[in-house]
């Protein structure tokens, strides 16, 4: 029996803001995926993955999960000794949920009480997010549990606030001139240090004020208009959001991206924002005219994730 595939995820909106109760919109991204497999561990990749799973199984043993979400750790360890590894092409340090997919795969295979992602109640979604947060804390020190939840559900999720989240329908993509795309910054980013910078900034009253009064307002307005497919207010608020990030998230913007970020704002040809915590990995781009944006971003590796 083959194990299910778990896809990467992309935070379209809400990076950092979700920590302070903004809305968030997170979608699965099927270009990258991972699944649990067995092998004789003859390749270095498989052997390393198996060793990581061994270490991770010790962490999970010590985790005190509630009865509804308990894991069969003995079976997990037995499978590890029989050559279990995580076969994944999800790049690490790119803000697309490499650890989230792994956590989701382990939970799906080894949870004692099986859940059906298609009919999980809103209340159980909340509990599951908390469980995933505990499981993923091994990788980041602190985790909201959002990444594994998206990978597990394989559905777009709207985070309404810290307490509430629900499944949501993304408007159907269509072959138009516009696009949402990823730009490869050419370097990996580490979540921990970036979050540290954010919390340092949060200690200053001015930053806290502008985050709440401007960033969160623009962010939530972008989500609202995107879900309604109302593209004029969407791009209006997106420009404000991109400009705000250029001013206030400078340490999180990879150096290779800095000039093209400003070029987008100055020309209105495209707007950029962080994809996850920043510092490296992917950057998100939005444009009404992808052909024009692509020409202006020559030399950068790009992947289109949504057309409109």
Q: Mean pLDDT highest for which of 89-103, 180-194, 233-247? A: 233-247
Is the pLDDT assigned to residue 172 strictly greater than 90? no
Q: What is the pLDDT of residue 19?
A: 84
Q: What is the residue-wise DSSP string for 234-261?
A: HHHHHHHHHHHHHHH-GGGS-GGGHHHH
Please choose, from the candidates 11, 15, 216, the residue with its C-alpha nearest in 3D space to the C-alpha of residue 97.
11
Is the pLDDT assigned to residue 143 strictly greater than 90? no
Comparison of pLDDT for 117 and 16, the residue scoring more: 16
> 87: which residues sit within 8 A by CB, 6+ positions away?
34, 35, 36, 37, 46, 49
Q: What is the pLDDT of residue 70?
A: 95
Is the pLDDT assigned to residue 218 strictly greater than 80? yes
Q: Which domains does the chain have, with CATH numbers?
A: 6-167 (3.30.230.10), 179-307 (3.30.70.890)
Show the DSSP H helices in the chain as ranges. Answer: 44-62, 73-81, 98-110, 122-140, 146-153, 191-201, 205-210, 216-227, 231-248, 258-267, 290-296
> 67: which residues sit within 8 A by CB, 6+ positions away?
none
The model's pLDDT over 28-66, given as tens digits with 9 standing for 90+, comes to 999 999 999 999 999 999 999 999 999 999 999 999 999
Across residues 235-249, what is the average pLDDT? 98
Is the pLDDT assigned to residue 190 strictly greater than 90? no
Across residues 96-116, what is the average pLDDT? 93
pLDDT band at 141 (very low <50, low <70, confident <90, very high): confident
Across residues 182-194, what is the average pLDDT? 91
Q: What is the pLDDT of residue 1?
A: 55
């Amino acid at each position: 029996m083959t194990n299910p595939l778990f896809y990467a995820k992309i935070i379209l909106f809400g990076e950092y803001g979700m920590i302070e109760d903004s809305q968030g919109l997170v979608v699965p991204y099927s270009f990258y995926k991972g699944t649990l497999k067995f092998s004789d561990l003859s390749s270095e990749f498989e052997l390393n993955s198996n060793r990581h799973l061994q270490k991770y199984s010790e962490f999970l043993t010590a985790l005190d999960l509630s009865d509804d979400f308990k894991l069969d750790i003995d079976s997990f360890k037995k499978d590890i000794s029989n050559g279990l590894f995580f076969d994944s092409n999800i790049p690490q340090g790119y803000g697309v949920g490499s650890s989230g997919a792994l956590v989701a795969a382990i939970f799906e295979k080894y949870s004692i009480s099986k859940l059906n992602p298609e009919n999980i109640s809103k209340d159980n979604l909340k509990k599951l997010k908390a469980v995933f947060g505990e499981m993923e804390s091994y990788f980041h020190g602190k985790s909201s549990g959002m990444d594994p939840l998206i990978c597990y559900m394989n559905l777009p999720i709207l985070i309404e606030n810290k307490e509430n989240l629900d499944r949501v329908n993304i408007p159907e993509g269509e072959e138009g001139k516009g696009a949402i795309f990823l730009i490869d910054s050419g370097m990996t980013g580490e979540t921990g240090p970036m979050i540290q910078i954010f919390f340092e900034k949060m200690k200053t009253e001015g930053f806290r004020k502008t985050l709440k009064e401007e960033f969160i307002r623009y962010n939530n307005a972008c989500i609202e208009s995107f879900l309604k497919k109302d593209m004029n207010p969407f791009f209006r608020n997106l420009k404000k959001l991109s400009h705000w990030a250029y001013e206030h998230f400078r340490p999180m913007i990879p150096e290779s991206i800095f000039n093209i970020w400003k070029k987008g704002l100055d020309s209105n040809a495209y707007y950029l924002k962080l994809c996850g915590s920043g510092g490296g990995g992917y950057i998100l781009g939005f444009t009404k005219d992808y052909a024009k944006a692509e020409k202006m971003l020559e030399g950068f590796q790009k992947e289109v994730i949504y057309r409109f």
